[in-house]
Amino acid sequence: MELPVKIPTLTTLLCLPTTLLAAEPARDDALKLPDVLISASRQVESRTTTSAANSVFTRSDIDRLQPSSVSDLLTRVPGVQVAPTGGRGSLPGIFIRGTKAAQSLVLVDGVRIANATSGDSGLQFLDVDQIERIEVLRGSRSAVYGSDAIGGVIQIFTRRSSGPGLQPRLRLAAGSNQTWQRSLGLSGGDGATRFSLGASLDETAGIDSTGPSFASDGDHDAYRNQSFNLSLSHSFNERFEAGLNLLDSRGRSEYDNPYGRFDPVTFESFGQKPYTDFSVSSVGSYFDAQVNDVWHSRLELGHSENRDDKRDKLSAERFVYNTYRDQVTWQNDLSLGERHSLLLGGDWYQDRAQGTTEFIEGSRWNRAVFVQHRYAGEGFSSELGLRHDRNQQFGRETTLSASLTLPVTERNDLLLSYSEGFRAPTLNDLYDPQYGNPELKPEHSKSYELQWRSQLTSSSRLEASLYRTDLRDAIIFPDMQTKPYNVASARIDGVELTLHQQWQAWQAQLGLAVIDPRDRDSGHTLARRARRTLSLDVDRQFERFSVGGSWQAVSSSYNEEKNLNRLAGYGLLGLRGSWTASQQIRVDLKLDNLLDKGYSRALYSYDNSNYGYREEGRTWLLSLTWTPAL
């Protein structure tokens, strides 16, 4: 993540009117900047003024770090852990601050993309070549976004135009495990209209993701992804703009099922060669108006689809899970003088499910209103938010958030915050004819946080967080014969630290997290959550060359809630380099898992023994990017 040379003081930024922060810079221009944030309040604001602990990856960060996937980027965020069950395309299992994957909200250009039946967001299927920016908020934001935002929010913004004129781009890459990547894009525009159009194809033969199992699981699990994105915006005048953003990823992901296919008649298990034909898509349009000097209004319309067609090459077995979501958001930002601002808005969305499973109820709607007040004083600043949701299934939920910011010195700020969160049960949890429980209640959380933000020097910044999250009414699945129910409670204590340092041509970022995620009833550590994680990125820029390295260290964890099987900790080392051969041609090379470390982030059971899902060993990727001038 890029470090700005100098960050304005908190008091200076908070004294700016909200309309100025929203209009300067424009949203598309803000997506290029590392020191602003959009997701925390759904409007452009300085990262130093928001109450949310956050991390931002711009397009320049993505090009520099050369990640293989969105999950690869997220492992660099303190407090975020990833526990996939295999190689490329496998379910990532993303935990923010110790909460489970379904307890964090994922957005693409403001549109919710999570599968309404499973709660899985499909992040493993998004191609980084189609992404302009990723923002990660750590800590509950339910007072702004409602359901699912207990652990935090991940928002992905698709590629945008880089300026006037036409800017074509072509990227070709080849690497380990018969990996081939191709992407093509064209962006441009003029003072009023901007567009970005891109398409990519990512293929790999993959690895054998499981060890001892059925003979049919001995093959490599291939992955193929075709992605397309379109961004279009037009400014009718200085006060009114409209736009459209579209992202579509589809393909095939092979995987292993070490448990096999069970025959209820013969009570035997048979090997499989399963695969998923997937599709994750979102389309969003917006109308943005500066109504007058104090009122800024934005209307967003969105639609997302998440399709899973699971099949087996060795049998006729097939399961289809398709979900569709329509949503509308209307937000109004009001500047009430120099020190007060008000955010008012409303949300509506509806989920629908279709497939081979006939749900008891196949759809539900949610309506909500939210309000947030901000005060920017010389001695302190505050933020108070409230949201009220009404859901067709579970009724009403009200969530609150509050924060207080104290500028201790010109370079040091202290933040105290409290936030409430909730997660609505999925359609699977509620209405699956065999495993669903319509009586389930939403999961709830309360979080308390203390943050310290210090601009140590003009090129060095330290951010630290100390937090506690209490979870109640958590939904558990005891076994395949028992319906889910609300019973579990957990307490997660944690410390996070981020240090940005820039010295001449060197750039470094260190992320450290220590958590204690415990089930309050049993005292056990929550499954697949490591207590300690560390991430370090160091890069050096020469005239035409750049080199960099990454080190990730993760402590041990337990595979299941009963803490019977321990997953060993691991450390990973990666190197990368880039050569700008000319103004039009760049060559990149990266080596991941340089020491060829064998490790697992999840286990499976077979023949009364436990084995780890395999991760890729040492891999390399060489790419060529051509941006011809037109």
Q: What is the pLDDT of residues 91-106, one digit of tens each?
A: 888 999 999 989 999 9
- Token pair of 305, please? 């689809």
- Token pair of 324, please? 């569709």
Per-residue pLDDT, 269: 82
SS3 614: coil
pLDDT of 263 above 80: no
| Burial (CB count within 10 angstroms: exposed 0-12, middle 13-18, buried 19+), residue 589 | middle
Per-residue pLDDT, 265: 75
Q: DSSP label at 89?
A: T
Per-residue pLDDT, 212: 83
Strands 460-476 and 80-82: unpaired
Q: Where are the domains of the chain?
A: 10-626
Q: How far apart are CA 429 and CA 299, in angstroms?
A: 32
Closest CA to 548 of 103, 61, 75, 12: 61
Q: How far apart are CA 370 and CA 347, in angstroms?
A: 8
Task: Give residue-wise pLDDT tens across range 394-435.
Answer: 889 999 999 999 999 999 999 999 999 999 999 999 998 888
- Token pair of 52, please? 């949310």
Whether the Cβ atoms of residue 98 and residue 492 lie closer than 8 Å to each other: yes
Task: Find where tokens 């992905």 sit.
Answer: 156
Q: How far apart are CA 210 and CA 589, in angstroms?
A: 28
- The 3-state secondary structure of 340-368, one letter per residue: EEEEEEEEEEEEEEEECCCCCCCEEEEEE
Under the banding of pLDDT at 50, 70 and 90, the label for residue 20 is very low
pLDDT of 118 above 90: no
The DSSP secondary structure of 99-154, one letter per residue, reads --GGGEEEEETTEE-S-TTT----GGG--GGGEEEEEEEES--HHHH-TTTTSEEE
Separation in Å, CA 173 to CA 181, 592, 622: 5, 15, 5
Q: How far apart are CA 526 and CA 256, in angstroms?
A: 25
The DSSP secondary structure of 513-558, one letter per residue, reads EEEEEEETTT-PBPTT--SEEEEEEEEEE-SSEEEEEEEEEE--EE
Torsion of CA 274, 258, 201, 188, to 10 degrees: 110
Task: Find where tokens 């290029």 sit.
Answer: 32
Looking at the DSSP assignment, which residues form a beta bridge with residue 361? Answer: none
Task: Give residue-wise pLDDT tens across range 605-616.
Answer: 888 888 999 999
* Beta-carbon-side half-sphere exposure of residue 252 (alpha carbons within 13 Å): 13
**Residue 34 C-alpha from the chain's centroid:** 17
Name, in order, each residue with C-beta under 8 angstroms of 12's C-beta and a sequence gap of 6 or more.
none
Task: Give residue-wise pLDDT tens across range 345-381.
Answer: 999 999 999 999 888 899 999 999 999 999 999 899 9
Q: How far apart are CA 45 and CA 25, in angstroms?
A: 9
Label residues 168-179 b or e (16+ Cβ within 10 Å = b). ebebebebbbeb
| Average pLDDT of the segment spanning 106-131 | 93
pLDDT of 479 above 70: no
Looking at domain 10-626, its CATH superfamily turns out to be TonB-dependent receptor, beta-barrel domain (2.40.170.20)
- Token pair of 67, please? 């990640």
SS3 22: helix
Whether the Cβ atoms of residue 432 and residue 154 lie closer than 8 Å to each other: no
First to last CA, the chain: 30
Task: Give residue-wise pLDDT tens across range 185-222.
Answer: 999 998 899 999 999 999 999 999 988 888 888 889 99
Cut 0.95: pTM above it: no
Whether the Cβ atoms of residue 386 and residue 398 lie closer than 8 Å to each other: yes
Rounded to 5°, the CA angle 391-396-348 comes to 40
Whether the Cβ atoms of residue 3 and residue 459 lie closer than 8 Å to each other: yes
| Average pLDDT of the segment spanning 231-255 | 95
Closest CA to 292 of 240, 241, 344: 240
Looking at the DSSP assignment, which residues form a beta bridge with residue 422? Answer: 444
Q: How far apart are CA 272 and CA 570, in angstroms?
A: 31
Provide φ and ψ at 78, rounded to 5°: -60, 135
Q: DSSP label at 220?
A: -
